[in-house]
Amino acid sequence: MTDDDRIAALFSEAASDAPPPGFDHDRVVATSRRITARRRSAVLGGAMALLVVTGVGVATGLPGSGAGSGELTSAAAPAAAPEAPADPAPAGSALAESAPAEDAAAQAPEAQLPESLRDQPEFTGAPLGPGTTECAQRQDPALRAFVEEVLPEVAGATEAAVTMDCRPGGERGVSLEVDDAGTPGLLTVEYLPPGEVAGATSGTSASSVTASGGTVVVTARGDGPGAPVPFEGRLDTAAAYLAPRL
């Protein structure tokens, strides 16, 4: 007996001693079906989780659907977008027009003018312009006349004390001790010719460029530290009234 014959005999004996197989054709088919079912469940569960997170509607083909069958399962639909808020009332609507016109008129300078001056035509005369004296007139009568037009309450007011230093002759000024319906204080009006710059003031002030190219500054302060300021709400109106006249 050759070596090959002996080896073949050993293999035959080993094969005859092997136990019978523990599975058959039916068991293999059943196990395969269980594995396929688990895979389907895992894929479907993952797809549903993705839809919950993203909130986006997609269509998913179920595993095992017949090829070309075209069967799709709609998983989710996108959430409806919230309705846009109603547009605000247009500028020309009745709601927009309901704002009282009286408020706007009350803020206009003309509304703060004395009643006798509201209907006067626009000033077209020659502006007063710079002074003509060697030193500035600190209590200028021509300037005071215009001040009394826009603030009639100061008519007859006492002239306040002024410094005696010689200011440039082109300047004009008025300084008065006033009483605004029980609110006493000091009112000062200064006209500065073109080229001069207004300095710092102590009190509440308003200024405007004049018709002659100069500057008018209207300043008021109360009768003591922290005291109410006379004509505080009318200083802008006074400066606007004086500007075309100076």
**Mean pLDDT per 10-residue section of the chain, whose length is 246 residues:** 71 58 61 68 58 46 44 44 51 45 47 70 90 94 96 96 91 97 97 89 92 96 94 96 96
- Say if CB 206 and CB 236 are below 8 A apart: yes
Cα-based angle 97, 102, 103 (whole degrees, multiple of 5): 90
Q: Output the pLDDT for position 63.
A: 46
The domains of the chain are located at 21-74, 114-245
Q: Output the pLDDT for position 123.
A: 87
Q: What span, in angstroms and rounded, lies between the C-alpha atoms of 230 and 238?
A: 13
Q: Please tell me the pTM assigned to this model.
A: 0.56
Q: Output the pLDDT for position 62.
A: 42
Q: Could you tell me the end-to-end alpha-carbon distance of the chain, in angstroms, rounded to an integer?
A: 145
- Say if CB 160 and CB 175 are below 8 A apart: yes
Q: If you write DSSP's letter for every residue of 97-131 in order, what string do you get? A: GGS-HHHHHHHSGGGGS-GGGTTSPPP-S----S-
| Dihedral pair phi/psi, residue 148, rounded to 5° | -70, -20
